Amino acid sequence: MDHFLYRDGALYAEDVPVSEIAAAVGTPFYVYSTATLQRHFKLFDDALDWADHLVCFAMKSLSNQAVLKVLADAGAGMDVVSGGEYARAKAAGVPGDKIVFSGVGKTADEMRQALKGGIRQFNVESEPEMAVLDRVAQDLGMVAPITVRVNPDVDAKTHAKIATGRSEDKFGIPISRAREVYAHAAKLKGLKVIGIDVHIGSQLTDLAPFEQAYGKVAELTEQLRADGHEISRLDLGGGLGIPYARSNAAPPLPSDYGALIERTLGHLDCEIEIEPGRLISGNAGLMVSKVIYVKEGEDRKFLIIDAAMNDLIRPAMYEAWHDIVPVVEATPGDAPATYDIVGPVCESGDTFTKGRAMAKVGSDDLIAFRSAGAYGAVMSSEYNSRPLIPEVLVNGDQFAVIRARPTYEEMIARDTVPEWL
């Protein structure tokens, strides 16, 4: 569910007409719904109310300060994967004891930053990382709380570029070596083992891979406890998918996911952490663009819009589908048209979709890309010297720009020409 609905033929973001935002900030832009963010967080929080738990928002999906504050105020922790994300979480008012640091390539500087600023845990992904963290913690006279990310060799049945739990993926330690690695970690004075971490991929639409992975985690928990380790926390990652088109079959609900966790891991009496990103932020955002031209090709029509692959790269990178709708609803009975929807960047890859049937639109009409709140703005760039597009937050009948579009002058001013040129 989201809060982007038609009223009297006009698309609204909560109680604000999308066309009103477009008139105020220009196109293209991202717009997020406060009510949707809050609702989706609560669905996960309620799904785990049977256990001591923390829902940590995966900031890599959307990291604007205003969005982080909305979720932090709702009670969310944060899952970060860089020093920059850690700094953003702290700037949004998230306390260190609600921040989890994930990622395969943490540097010593990032470890130092998090230990000094406060951290809930590091999800350690390799033995070399473990050695560096031990050294950094001891140099600071501190002890770093850790889980070890295990790779359960489970195929999540998702896109190859976002699968993370197979043996050939770069993430985690093979679960077959987990007992050996935990034994080594227990000997390091700068580390304190507190649990297990697992994450098998993103945009999962079936609970079966989760069940397979969590069954392996349950068995490992019993083995590690028998070996004398204190396993009090299970970090289960994120990955639950969203329907990117209204016609798609709906993925499992957070309540179903929570029931699966209780069934497979509830008997272990561990604190449960999950790290959803996409399901919280994905359907909470639109990207809105304006049609520049409708171009007649030899055997097709091209809808050329003012948004491009640098603004929303998911279709170019993942062949991703986004439902695309007109901001002014089609009149019942109007025949649809079929378009290749493309941007102005000089690459054939700057194509959002081919052969898409949708309501007929023309030059200067507005269209909206649904389910654009996750991995949209955070993956955008200024390729072709196109400014980063604004981000807007709606709350009821109010809206505010939460990231402004830079001017050309501001973009150019970031560069420095050496004196010798």
In the structure encoding, which two tokens stand for residue 160, read together?
């190859």
* Residue 285, amino acid: G
- Please name which of 385, 76, 31 lies closest in space to residue 238, comparing C-alpha atoms: 76
Burial classification of residue 28, based on how many CB atoms lie within 10 Å of its CB (0-12 exposed, 13-18 middle, 19 or more buried): buried
Say whether 56 is catalytic. Answer: no
Q: What are phi and psi of 403, to 5 degrees?
A: -150, 120
- State how far the alpha carbon of 186 is from the alpha carbons of 134, 135, 283, 316, 325, in Å: 11, 14, 42, 45, 55
112: three-class secondary structure by DSSP: helix
Out of 1, 226, 335, 346, pick the active-site residue: 346
d(CA 307, CA 342): 8
Containing 200, the helix (H) or strand (E) segment is none
The DSSP output letter for 170 is S
Q: What are phi and psi of 204, to 5 degrees?
A: -80, 135
223: three-class secondary structure by DSSP: helix
Whether the Cβ atoms of residue 403 and residue 92 lie closer than 8 Å to each other: no
| Residue 42 CB neighbours (<10 A) | 15
Instruction: Identify any residues that bridge with 324 across adjacent strands, giving them in sequence order.
Output: 369
Whether the Cβ atoms of residue 368 and residue 11 lie closer than 8 Å to each other: yes
- Please name which of 92, 62, 18 lies closest in space to residue 281, comparing C-alpha atoms: 62
Q: Which residues are marked as active site?
A: 346
